[in-house]
Amino acid sequence: MTTSTERRVPRADCIADSAGGITFDIAGAGAPDAVLVLKLRGGAGPQDETRLPLTPTGEGSSRAVLPSTVELAEGRWDAYVGDEAVEPGIRDLRTLVDRAPDADRIAARVPYPTEDGRLAVRCWVRAPHAEAGEIGLAPERGAMTVEGVLYGAELGEGAAAEARLRGSDKAHRVPVTGGDGGAFGFTLPYGPLAEQHLGKQELWDMWLRPTADAAWIRIARILDDVWDRRNIFVYPRLPSGNWLAAPCYTSDNELCVRLTEAP
């Protein structure tokens, strides 16, 4: 039984809005002058800590608000009240599903439970940004198709997508087609990747270049409520020579192609 003198571990219910703001309703927040602290994992400077005042809401609970206007660097931000890690409660992320932001600079934030049971916020800051959409498979061509939307830049002459073998200078480039509202699409055959293989398993990172003289943009999918797509979006593997190839996502929700040696 919990007595009045026992301290409850802070536990937060979260409501996210489509603009990037998050409301934290915290039970067991402790002293009236307590604050919610967000700390950038791996950070060391004062800019890697954001302090949000907690306002009592009655019955031992408090509320903190992270406005969309508050800047957070890209990364994972762990939540604390004082020195205590906050436990995750109910997370209402409905407004994050199928976002279509107007801004050229994309700031996406998703509160999530860590593997060891703490609350954290995954933040992305991209400008410009290439949002991956539908990923299709073309078995007859040994290829994948990618559709998406480009924010903060416009497609023009020389638009291309490129698969880059991680840890090497090997790459394969294909043309990109454009549509209304920043839509883009391309088809990537697996054969040219398999022909350049170096090991028994490889990751090829996917990039987009809007025009011939533009900088390359990492293709990712961040405009929804999924903070880690690796084990959620799993695609069938297609044979390519002695290899099997499939699209996949990293822990940062960035699009890749994984090649593995066929058994």
pLDDT digits (tens, 9 = 90+) for 184-228: 999 999 999 999 877 788 999 999 999 999 999 999 999 999 999
pLDDT per residue rounded down to tens, the chain (263 residues): 444 445 578 999 999 998 899 999 998 765 667 899 999 999 888 889 999 999 998 878 899 999 999 999 999 999 999 889 999 999 999 999 988 888 788 999 999 999 999 999 999 999 999 999 999 999 999 999 999 999 999 999 999 999 999 999 999 999 999 989 899 999 999 999 999 877 788 999 999 999 999 999 999 999 999 999 999 999 999 998 889 999 999 999 999 999 999 88
Q: Which pLDDT value is given to residue 172?
A: 97
Burial class (CB in 10 A: 0-12, 13-18, 19+), 216: middle
Q: Which pLDDT value is given to residue 6?
A: 52
- Give φ, ψ of 48 to 5 degrees: -100, 20
User: What are the helix (H) ranges across 4-52?
Assistant: none
Residue 194 zone, left/alpha/beta (φ > 0; ψ -120 to 50; rest): alpha
Element (H, E) at 192: helix 191-194
Q: Which pLDDT value is given to residue 174?
A: 98
Q: Which residues contact 9 (CB under 8 A, 6 or more apart)?
A: 28, 84, 87
